[in-house]
């Protein structure tokens, strides 16, 4: 499948993966837009939240709890951060594999 995040998940292209389990990977955004900018990505290819199914409910919940954990690990938990999902071209989505942006680290 011609999906850049599937290729990262399958290690066909390299990225700075900082966490991985059977369902989720976390890696650094290649063009960070904040001092801390991580992407929390399900291994399952779901194009966007528009395509998520009832069966994905737990997986989507997990993305947010993993994001919360990495906010803590990267030290932005107390100062505050954003969790962002872009949906569709008009919503700024560039990679059509569901992901949550964790952005923080501003003063
Ligand atoms: P979107 O706009 O789809 O919500 O976010 C896609 C994000 O993926 C962008 O912030 C972009 O910088 C990042 N990105 C795109 N291609 C790559 C890549 O090959 N590696 C990594 N690590 N990030 C990427
Ligand atoms: Zn994919």
pLDDT number for residue 90: 98
Q: What is the residue range of 32's domain?
A: 4-104
83 pLDDT more than 90 = yes
Please give the sequence-ordered ranges of beta strands (E in DSSP) within the chain, or none if there are none: 17-20, 24-28, 36-42, 81-84, 100-104
Pocket test for ligand 1, best of 7, 10, 15, 94 (most atoms within 8 A of CB): 94
Average pLDDT over residues 56-76: 98
Lookup: tokens for 3 = 């999906």
Give the count of domains, the chain: 1
* DSSP H/E element including 55: none
Active-site residue, 99 included: yes
pLDDT number for residue 1: 74
Average pLDDT over residues 93-100: 98
- Measure 80 CA to ligand 2 centroid, in angstroms: 29
- Ligand number with the minimum distance to the CA of 32: 1
CATH number at residue 51: 3.30.428.10
Instruction: Check: CB of residue 48 under 8 Å from CB of residue 96.
Output: yes
pTM score? 0.98
35 pLDDT more than 90 = yes
């Amino acid at each position: 499948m011609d999906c850049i995040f599937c290729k990262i998940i399958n290690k066909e292209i390299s990225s700075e993966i900082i966490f991985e389990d059977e369902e989720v990977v976390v890696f650094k955004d290649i063009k960070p837009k904040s001092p801390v900018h991580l992407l929390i990505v399900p291994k399952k290819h779901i194009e966007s939240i528009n395509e998520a199914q009832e069966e994905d409910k737990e997986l989507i919940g997990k993305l947010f709890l993993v994001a919360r954990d990495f906010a803590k690990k990267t030290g932005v938990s107390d100062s505050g951060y954003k969790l962002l999902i872009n949906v569709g071209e008009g919503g700024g989505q560039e990679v059509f594999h569901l992901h949550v942006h964790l952005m923080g680290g501003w003063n």
